[in-house]
Amino acid sequence: MASSSVPAPRPHRPPLPNVAFRRLRGPRSPAEFAALVRRAAREIGERVSCDARYVGRVEAGEIRCPNYAYERVFLHMFPGRTLTDLGFAPRSSVRGRAARTAGDAPGTAETDGAHEPYDTQDTYDPDDRHHDDEESDVLRRAFMTGGGATVAAASLGPLGLSLDASPARRPRRAGAGQVSALEEAVRRIRLLDDRHGADGLYRRAAAPLRAAYALLDAGATRQATADRLHAGAGELAISVGWLAHDSGRFDDARSHYAEALATARLTGDPALEAHAFCNTAFLARDAGRPREAVRAAQAAQRAARPLGSPRLMSLLALREAGGWAGLADRAGCEQALVRAQALFGRGPSDDDPEWMSFYGEAELEGLEAQCWSTLGDWPRAARHARRAARLQDPHFTRNIALYTAELADDLARGGRPDEAAVAGTRVLDLLDQVQSSRIQAMLAGTARVLLPHRRAGGVADFLDRHASRPRAV
């Protein structure tokens, strides 16, 4: 009997459970986790109708790769991770030709099956596929390549760097070249934040952070290199934490700062420990935990005392002052401010940390303005905010916008709506260059205060212009 020319179909293989995703759900029920997904979607302006059934399908492996809306939500929920880290298959393997092999079970890729009622539906587009492949090629570029372990500074948006931490490609032990690239990544992130704010940078900075910790796992060729590697990874964690902090992702920031603190404690690095506690104090103040802010600032001062930098001690005293202000302890705040000013007056030192380049007279005035604002002394806060904006180096565009937004809010709350409108308009002019959720939130608060004063000079124009701006997602 002649054999048929039609090949026999391959037997159906059931999907493999997504163990990684199940592990991320932790002790929560599928319904509880689905609620977290929906909340995360709202935070970034997405609209998904995730429920317990959807979570079950993901964990059962029925959804091999989520559509773009869910992808954005999951990456927002788990910053620093890729879809592969979450247990999904690469998009290229479930879209286009790769998704249509005879052995694929129908409906195993979300892009092949029915969508949830309010989900963002992605239709296949060859241009999209080209974009996906191009972006993946950038992300796949190795931080270290081949036998020479050469550093690859791959282009990733405006950061100009990409460090690949794929677990499938374990890096060799780090040398001085890799550590220098890591230190340069920290500098570049800080520079871009100074100019443009955090919102557009945070997600892009996750790749170098993953690579830094992959290098830590791989180890270093020499002890001196290992010390630099740990310090660089810790500083990078703080920088990425600050991007999360300034863009309103407080839980992410807290996690990154904790990573840096753990690295500092592990290696006995007092400079890194002081920096981590410094940022933790700032975050605690902004998150409404002033007592924690005081304690973290005091811990930072204990760590920094042997370092011999009066400017660092001055900044840490200001962090403590912010905590006391949040506790409505005016005396404690004033004492910390006096100490900060006295320490600042000793001038710069060769022992000042590199990361403190932002801390000058303008920042001193700006942080003091925030303290008086928290205490409700609007005229005094406005005086310091005005000086801060005037003194700030034009290079620090973000800080000029920040201090001017502080000034606008202090003037509005202090009963000077026309001057507040002028300052608020200056901030709006800067928002084309600066992306900072912190500044946008401050300006929104000022607009609410000014609403009853719409007839005051310039207020209506400011409110109309503010209302016409697209809302950040």
Q: What is the DSSP string of 77-99?
A: HSTT--TTTTTPPPGGGTSGGGG
Residue 214, pLDDT score: 73
Q: Which amino acid is at 255?
A: S
Computed from CA positions of residues 160, 163, 168, 172, in that sequence, does the dihedral angle turn out positive or negative? positive
Residue 179, pLDDT score: 67
Task: Compute the distance between CA of residue 318 and CA of residue 296 in angstroms, rounded to an integer.
Answer: 12
Alpha helices by DSSP H, 346-377: 361-374
Task: Compute the distance between CA of residue 106 and CA of residue 222 in angstroms, rounded to an integer.
Answer: 53
Q: Which amino acid is at 7?
A: P
Cβ-count burial of 174 within 10 angstroms (0-12 exposed, 13-18 middle, 19+ buried)?
buried
Residue keyed to tokens 């930072």: 300
Task: Compute the distance between CA of residue 369 and CA of residue 139 in angstroms, rounded to an integer.
Answer: 42
CA dihedral 201, 207, 210, 213 (to 10 degrees): -80
Residue 344, pLDDT score: 97
Alpha helices by DSSP H, 268-354: 270-286, 290-304, 310-326, 330-344
Mean pLDDT by 10 residues, the chain (473 residues): 45 77 88 86 78 87 86 86 88 50 38 32 33 30 28 32 45 64 68 52 67 69 74 85 84 89 90 95 94 96 96 98 96 98 94 88 96 96 96 85 95 95 94 81 93 92 89 53
- Burial of 271-297, coded b for 16+ CB within 10 Å and e otherwise, reads bbbbbbbbbbbbbbbbeebbebbbbbb
